[in-house]
Amino acid sequence: MNILLQIKTVLWSFLGVGRRKDMAQIHERGSPIVLVVVAFGLLLVFVGGLALLAHSATAG
């Protein structure tokens, strides 16, 4: 299981783009649980980044 491949899959899914061939092979890339955990982690990073940006923009 390649974690970078899992992250790449989740990032492309966040953007809503991807080739049909790649999307058809998601089940071969690893466990769906791993994809969910990676997606949740990346979502937390994204929301945290937005919160930090908003905080720094309003603090000045």
pLDDT tens column, 1-57: 588 888 888 887 787 776 666 666 766 767 788 888 989 999 999 999 999 999 999
Compute CA distances 50 → 11, 44, 47, 53, whole Å. 17, 10, 5, 5
Higher pLDDT, 59 or 19: 59
Q: Check: CB of residue 9 under 8 Å from CB of residue 37.
A: no
How far apart are the C-alpha atoms of 32 and 35, rounded to whole Å?
5
What pLDDT shows up at residue 2?
82
What pLDDT shows up at residue 50?
96
What pLDDT shows up at residue 60?
67
φ, ψ dihedrals at 7, nearest 5°: -65, -40
